[in-house]
Amino acid sequence: MSQQSIRVENLVKNFGEGDSRVDVIDGASFSVDKGELIALIAPSGAGKTTLLMMIGCVQEPTSGQIWLGDEKVYDNKWLSKDTRTIRREKIGFIFQAHYLIPFLNVIDNITLLPQANGQTKEEAEKFAMELLEYLDIADKAHAMSSQLSGGQNQRVAIARALANKPKIILADEPTAALDTERSVSVVQMLKKIAIEQDVAIIMVTHDNAMLPLCDRILKIEDKKVVSSKVMKDTSMI
């Protein structure tokens, strides 16, 4: 079985037609292996979120191919009519804002999706508590989002992303609202998850201080995606 969790070939995304057409991604090809934490960087407006949403089966590409694990999900068209199931079964999403439901406590936020997928409340809560223990925030299981710090809320958001046991996590600027110390803590946690849970993670970031914590950098340049290794700062790991 392939070590690749994500593979993209000749991915293209345009908006509009004719003179008003805007080319955002033009022939992107790359792969991400299980256990890798990848930073995706580019100037604002260069297509980082668009690329993430195409991989996440949220936004349809113009053309190209996408594999998630061993399944080819896109080949110039979606190969399944039910992209929602693909997202639910294969992908966890983390965003800049935690988007926790304010009138639900921590554990109810985490168990909402698994229960919607058919798990019993007992099964969902058992795994949610395991995640909270793993993320060192189990003592906040019955707290409300308003009672938590920004870093704690983002850890809950990570737990929620892991609740469906995905092998791919797409994180869109998950540390943008945090200070440096909390940002490092969150990215270190993502790296731990990548290694220990065999998960492929792509993290959009504008914070160059987070790059040494990642395995590789994907950079959008001239509408292409290029890959480079990063210099590790072992003091941060």
pLDDT tens profile 168-194: 999 999 888 788 888 898 899 899 999
pLDDT in tens, 118-158: 889 999 999 999 999 988 899 999 999 999 998 899 889 99
Q: What are 84-130's pLDDT values in tens digits?
A: 989 988 999 998 888 899 999 999 999 998 898 888 999 999 999 99
State how far the Cα of 90 lies from the Cα of 196, in Å rounded to an integer: 17
**Which CATH number do you get for residue 225?**
3.40.50.300
d(CA 198, CA 34): 5
* Whether pTM exceeds 0.95: no
pLDDT at 233: 52
- Write out the residue range of the structural domain in which residue 145 sits: 4-236
Total number of domains in the chain: 1
User: How confident is the model at residue 91, as a pLDDT?
Assistant: 93
Backbone angles phi, psi at 187, to 5 degrees: -70, -40
Residues 6+ apart with CB under 8 A from 169: 91, 92, 93, 94, 161, 162, 190, 193, 199, 200, 201, 202
Bridge partners of 9?
A: 65
Average pLDDT of the segment spanning 30-34? 95
Tokens standing for residue 121 = 């409340």
The mean per-residue pLDDT over the stretch 23-29 comes to: 92
